[in-house]
Structure 1
Amino acid sequence: IKKYTEAFRQHLKASGVPVENSKGEAGIGQHELNIKFSDILSMADRHTTYKQCLKEVADQFGVSVTFMAKPFIDTAGSGCHIHLSMVNSSDGKNAFTADGSGTNSNDQFSPLFKHFLAGWLKYTPDVMVFYAPTINSYKRFMSASWAPTHLAWSYDNRTAAFRVVGKGQSTRIECRLPGADCNIYLAFAASLASGLRGIADKLEPPPIFEGDIYQAKELPQVPRTLKEAIRVFENSSFAREAFGEDVVNHYLNFYRQEQAAYEKTVTDWERHRYFEQI
């Protein structure tokens, strides 16, 4: 795998995609790739380029790469964690910090940060289909899997759906919900639309959570299946206001077709479980 990773990093560099680091992850053959931050559209383009690059280089090496969210049942899934911050247009400084003091207390965050985070949290269920677009996506959301199962925010807590990281000018929100299978343009659009609505409505986030969120049964859960997420998306006035009727109806049709294709498929799991027993 070392020769493969060296090759795709060289190709990405030549393609104008700056890789900060890459490393092996928890699963067998699983790899993490971190791209240097940029404006949101450039980052979406870089994301798309690196996925295509990894596929093409893998083909040259005679190996396979998958961006499935949960390719194997007995190991951690693959996420697409979004790190997002905002800057002031006047001075280019981080707009999420109150005074740049760099302390870990809650008062280091600006009102804009709190409103943006509150909107992102509130409207996650409405646009969950943009973070988790396939049947397989939802099999990643399991306890003790490093993927979130409940909606909450916390400071540097990997059990949280929204993990706040960094200090001072590096303060940012990490959304750990999207899987590696997401369309990054849609995931970014959903994130921005939710956060900006929070700013517009001056929403306030719930109290910061401390501890193991997997054990916090009182917190709202993320949608557990594509079918559930489709229903919420269909009935969301927020989604229709943010993206327009045509966009929502287009993607509703797409996700319904995906759900219907799955429901009429006989899986290996069914054959293994029922073939001899029934």
Structure 2
Amino acid sequence: MSFLSNPVYSIDPSKKSLEEIERILKDNPQIKFVSLMGVDLGGNTTDAKIPIKIFLEDIEEFLRQGVQTDGSSVVLPEIATLGDAKVDLLPDSQSNWIVDYNYDHPYDGKHYVGTLRIPAFLVHNGKFVDSRSILKRALSFFEKKVKEVMESNPHLLANLGIEKVSDIESFLFTAATELEFWVKTPEDSEDIEQLSTSQNLKEQYWKRTQGTVRTALEKTIEIMGRYGIEPEMGHKEVGGVNSTIGVNGEQNHVLEQLEIDWKYSDALQAGDNEILVRELVQDTFTSFGLEVTFAAKPIEEVAGSGEHTHMGVAAKLKNGNTINLFSPKNLKEDYLSLIGYGGLLGLLNNYEVINPFVTSSTDAFNRLKPGFEAPVCTVASLGNDVKNPSRNRSVLVGLIRDLDNPMATRFELRSPNPLSNTYLVMASSYQGMLDGILAIKHIYDPQLLENELSKSAQTEGVYLEQNRQYRCEQDIFKDFSVHERDSLFGKTPETVWENFNHFDKHEKKSATLLNGDVFTESLISSFKTATLDRWKEELLHRIIPSNMDIIRSFTKSHNIEDTTDLDVVRWEKITKLKNYLVKDSLEQSSLFTRLRDSLNENNLKKASELQKEMDCIMAELRNLYASYKRNII
């Protein structure tokens, strides 16, 4: 990949007239296509090559009408059905447009063929049904309702140092994500023990990158800058092992975990930027012969990949000033403003119905396990002391503060992964925050809200649930047993079905998502159907077959000459577990057979229980076989 010229990389249509846009495109004839990027409920993006001349024939009409597509090919079950599949792709004229260059397709000696990618909305029967439109509605509704509650509760304004609602020009929803991912040379297999040891010794974290990985990382960061994304950092993460150099001088056996961070932007643009960065990483590293995975837990027993999501809200005043709605007037006296406390309380109290949008796959649940710095409890940290901000990496939500910068105050949701649908994560989170703000609107004293957040599990809350603790400044993993965590912070779901069952178990919290028609019952049902169908398919056709392959690889290695009684005992245990998982008999079906039957019969509750049992036995079997092999000469 090389850059032969300095072409246009992005267009901000909100700052340019149609005439200017037309001139830019005519001055850059290498832009041969236009594509509308809609994002369905599964987080998938559309990409259709439309000749640019069609766009140039009547730009205004194209932006007004968009194009039609077959909605049965996107993830909108129960909405875009086979009998009613027409979906309109409507361009978003307020978002940033980017030019996607194909570095395998030269246009001339100076340029490559480019596609103008325009973020879009998906419209079915006159209703906006895509992920981007859900987030847009959430932001609009949040601003409307918070302004209303400020109007009727002026103490909320006074707590922020704002005189009256009419002084506010607009709200600014700032958001940022960070991208962790694994890269490897094709067809190389991982050594779990080496990876685990390297992780425990912290041999890779923040170390200097080398060879093709270094070049690909630098290229990616360079290209991000060309698109105006403003990269802040790229570095090694905790996972990985050292590569080797072959006889031909090429880097071999690459297996590394990396992270790229970039500057915050408004919430909708943050979602668009994340998609672009994922595509840049994929294209760039692939061009260097490296495989990329954004899976949450690509390698068992090694650190997974997270995507911490930062969210904040500010008010832009008509006098030009900007006030962070989450920051207190005095950063050394209070952790948060009244609205900030309400937002955090709402995020925690409603997390049962936010979590399905965050953690929607078995892969995602595999990451959220103790021992890998991934959150397992619905609990937040404010910091050990209001005058000394700290960072607790073991909690679900961290409060980010800077005593010298009130604009830095924000919430860090630590549970998302690179394949979470960021638009829906943020939309559901802002809906939850709004519920908390509305619930505390009558409270004048921030200390009362800090007490509410800091209550013990035995204390009845004004807004939060009794028998639950929501704040912790200790290490969740080291300072509490599993039983203590479940007792204090609530038992968290372990499977996709358990997570989505919360929509039915917590009807009042589910109704929070429906406020303002941000989500609708049909959209939630469509998302639920799509996700549970994927869960079933992955169990049937990926997870069970993969486990079968693992079990078949566990073969007998000891013989009469060098065996010990311990070898015999261990192998008997291994054989018993293998048979329980796989082998049917006249008297009893194997666990795998019972799991398949439950899924095919749509008995999802039973399938969920069997999946948990399968995961537990597979972990026991892997550990037992590793011990068995270590004792073989």
Instruction: Provide TM-score, normalisation by structure 2.
Output: 0.42
Residue of structure 1 aligned with 2:310, choices 76, 83, 86: 83
Identity of aligned residues (%): 23
Work out whether residues 19 and 35 of structure 1, in 8 Å CA contact, stay in contact via their aligned partners in 2. yes
Deviations 1:10-47 (Å, cap 9, x if unpaired)? Answer: 11111221111111100111111111011111111111
Give the AA of the match of 2:439: D
After superposition, residues 63-102 of structure 1 pair within 5 angstroms as 63-90=290-317, 91-101=321-331
* Structure 2 residue 449 is the aligned partner of structure 1 residue 177: no
Q: How does 1:224-235 map to 2 (within 5 A)?
A: 224-235=494-505
Question: Aligned ranges for residues 196-207 of structure 1 at < 5 Å?
Answer: 196-202=434-440, 206-207=453-454
**What's 1:187 paired with?**
425
Structure 2: how far apart are the matches of 1:64 and 1:100?
Answer: 49
Q: Which SS does the other structure have where 1:267 is aligned? A: helix
What's the offset of the Cα at 1:178? 0.6
C-alpha contact (below 8 Å) 1:69/1:137 kept by paired residues: yes
CA distance in 2, matches of 1:196, 1:126: 14
Whole-Å Cα distance in 1 between the matches of residues 415 and 311 of structure 2?
Answer: 13
CA deviation after TM superposition for structure 1 residue 9, in Å = 0.8
Aligned residues: 275
Alignment map for 1:1-278 (pairs within 5 Å): 1-28=213-240, 29-90=256-317, 91-101=321-331, 103=332, 107-154=334-381, 155=383, 156-168=391-403, 169=406, 170-202=408-440, 206-207=453-454, 208-214=471-477, 215=480, 216-217=484-485, 218-235=488-505, 236-241=510-515, 242-265=518-541, 266-273=544-551, 277=575, 278=579
Offset of residue 175 of structure 1: 0.7
Match of 2:368, as an amino acid?
A: F
**What letter is aligned with 2:325?**
A
- Partner SS state of residue 186, structure 1: helix
Unaligned runs of 5+ in 1: none
Question: In structure 2, how many angstroms separate the alpha carbons of the residues matched to 1:271 and 1:144?
Answer: 26
> What's the CA shift for 1:134?
1.4
Q: CA deviation at 1:167?
A: 2.0
Cα separation, 2, equivalents of 1:123 and 1:180:
22
What is the Cα deviation at residue 144 of structure 1?
A: 2.1
Greater mean deviation of Cα atoms: 203-212 or 173-182: 203-212
Aligned-partner SS, 2:220: helix
- By how many angstroms is 1:239 displaced? 3.4
Select the structure with the greater relative contact order (CA < 8 A; seq sep ≥ 6): 1
For 1:174, the aligned partner's letter is E
Where structure 2 has 5 or more consecutive residues not aligned to the other structure, the ranges are: 1-212, 241-255, 384-390, 442-448, 455-470, 556-574, 580-633
Cα distance in 1 for partners of 2:525, 2:339 equals: 32
Give the structure 1 partner of residue 166 of structure 2: none
1:196 to partner: Cα distance? 1.3
Deviation by residue 1:52-86 (Cα, 9 ceiling, x = unmatched) = 11111122111111111111112111111011121
2:475 alignment partner AA: D
- For the residues of structure 1 that align with 2:534 and 2:427, how far apart are their CA atoms? 21
In our comparison, the structure showing a higher alpha carbon Rg is: 2
Are the equivalent residues in 2 in contact too, given 1:117–1:195 (CA < 8 A)? yes
Give the C-alpha shift of residue 233 in structure 1.
Answer: 2.9
Q: Does the 8 Å contact 2:431/2:512 carry over to 1?
A: no
- Greater shift after overlay, 86-95 or 30-39? 86-95
In 2, are the aligned partners of 1:133 and 1:181 still within 8 Å (CA)? no
In 1, Cα distance between equivalents of 2:437 and 2:339:
6
SS of the equivalent of 2:411 reads strand
Give, in angstroms, the shift of residue 151 of structure 1: 0.9
Structure 1 CA distance for aligned equivalents of residues 278 and 422 of structure 2: 11
Give me the whole-angstrom Cα distance separating, in 2, the residues matched to 1:201 and 1:71: 41
8 Å Cα contact 1:160-1:213 kept in structure 2: yes
Q: Partner of 1:179: helix, strand, or coil? A: coil
Shift of residue 240 of structure 1?
4.1
Partner secondary structure for residue 9 of structure 1: helix
With the length of structure 1 as denominator, give the TM-score of the two structures.
0.92
- CA contact 1:132–1:181 (8 Å) conserved in 2: no
How many Å separate the matches in 2 of 1:233 and 1:261?
A: 21
Bigger strand fraction: 2
- The AA in structure 2 aligned to 1:165 is I
**Aligned equivalents of 2:228, 2:214: Cα separation in 1:** 21
Distance in 2 between the 1:100 and 1:12 partners? 37
Tell me which moved more, 261-270 or 53-62: 261-270
Q: RMSD of the TM alignment (CA)? A: 1.9
Kindly provide the amino acid, as one letter, of the partner of residue 238 in structure 1. Answer: T
